[in-house]
Amino acid sequence: MPSALPPLDSLRAFHLIAETGSVTRAAAALGVTQPAISRRLRELEAALGCALVHRSPNALRLTEAGARLATGLREGFARIEAAAREMRAETAPLRIRAYTTWALRWLIPRLSEFKRRHPGLDVEVSTSIAPVDFAREGVDAAVRTGPLGAPPSPTARALQPVTIAPFAAPALAARRTPEAPIPGRMLGSRVRPGDWARWRQGAGLPEATPPLLYESTTLAIQAALEGLGTVICPPGFVREEVRARRLVPLAPAALPAGDGYWLVLPPGRVSAPLSLFAEWLVATAREDEGA
């Protein structure tokens, strides 16, 4: 039996004409010429046996039949686009944005476990300190810091509180004294410029010369490894260096920094792969905090 469905390219052309109100803009959206769009419109009208637009030299208006068809096509193409997005989400890598040091020293070392549990899912990590704009950027989720108990967005899920402590290379750590418990230059990050002041206040130490701030905590940690000073950072960032005795903790325990890491999800429906990643990340962060 012959199909009652007109050619899809003609339906798509009319949908764009109705949405943009212009043959010219519809042609630009499809990357074809104006005569090509006009031809598809005539073919669709012939297939349906009715006029869909009122033509005039300076304006284009939909007929009553055209308006009804435009409404149906808007709903139909929206469902098609949603289904296509969902299918791409099932197969495309998850794109996660995070801070450089957190990504390098916390997330990526644990991704092999996520891959073991979900071998069909890939995670692509990018780094930035800028707030994420889900409507304009190709990012599925982001990790941000924010005050504890005050999520940075309604869709954010708590990961772990930020704690901080000082660490120095063994040779530099050996030079500390009761009068100078922090040997050498204080090193920190421009992303978290207030961590030294918070730690000194919590440890009951007086104010000191402002720290030397690097572009990222990663750079500050490397500087500390080279003996250039004492770095302030979350203990989890330097766990391996402490185990290898390349860095020495200069405090018996870390102190809370007053904020925490949050996983920020996009508004609306979350894809199945992203939901799996979110559940794994939240559980892993809580396990790490307990350890």
pLDDT of residue 1: 40
Whether 80 has a pLDDT exceeding 50, the answer reads: yes
Asked whether residue 99 carries a pLDDT value surpassing 70, the answer given is yes
pLDDT value of position 87: 64
Residue bearing tokens 């808007």:
74
- The answer on pLDDT for 2 being more than 60 is no
Residue 89's pLDDT is what?
55
Statement: the pTM of the whole predicted model exceeds 0.75 = no
pLDDT of 281 over the 80 cut: yes
Higher-pLDDT residue of 31, 102 = 102
Kindly state the tokens that stand for 196.
């030294």
Q: Pairing between strand 141-147 and 123-127?
A: unpaired
For residue 217, give both structure tokens: 């905590």
Residue scoring higher pLDDT (136 or 175): 175
Q: What is the pLDDT of residue 88?
A: 59
Residue 266 above 80 pLDDT? Answer: yes
User: What pLDDT score was predicted for residue 288?
Assistant: 84
What domains are there in the chain, each with its CATH number?
A: 8-91 (1.10.10.10), 92-291 (3.40.190.290)
Which residues is 255 bridged to in the sheet?
A: 164
Angstrom distance (rounded) from CA 276 to CA 253: 33
Confidence of residue 170 (pLDDT cuts 50, 70, 90): very high
Dihedral of the alpha carbons of 145, 148, 154, 160, in degrees to the nearest 10: 60
| Band (8; pLDDT cuts 50, 70, 90) | confident
Strand partners, 62: 53
What's the pLDDT at 236?
92
Look-up: residue for tokens 């990357």? 31
- The percent of residues above 70 in pLDDT, for the chain, comes to 94
Q: pLDDT digits over 12-28, tens only?
A: 998 999 898 888 888 88
Distance CA 256, CA 5 (A): 64
For the segment 128-147, the average pLDDT, to the nearest whole number, is 88
Give residue-wise pLDDT tens across range 199-252.
Answer: 999 999 988 899 999 999 999 999 999 999 999 999 999 999 999 999 999 999
Predicted confidence (pLDDT) at residue 129 exceeds the cutoff of 70 = yes
**Bigger pLDDT: 254 vs 290:** 254
What's the mean pLDDT in 149-161?
91
Q: Is the pLDDT of residue 90 over 60?
A: no
Q: What is the 3-state secondary structure (H, E, C) of the chain?
A: CCCCCCCHHHHHHHHHHHHHCCHHHHHHHHCCCHHHHHHHHHHHHHHHCCCCEEECCCCEEECHHHHHHHHHHHHHHHHHHHHHHHHHHHHCCEEEEECHHHHHHHHHHHHHHHHHHCCCCCEEEEECCCCCCCCCCCCCEEEEEEECCCCCCCCEEEEEEEEEEEEECHHHHCCCCCCCCCCCCEEEECCECCHHHHHHHHCCCCCCCCCEEECCHHHHHHHHHCCCCEEEECHHHHHHHHHCCCCEECCCCCEEEEEEEEEECCCCCCCHHHHHHHHHHHHHHHHHHHC
To the nearest whole number, what is the mean pLDDT of the chain? 90
Contact 95, 134 (CB under 8 A): no
- How many CA atoms within 13 Å lie on the side-chain side of 200? 17
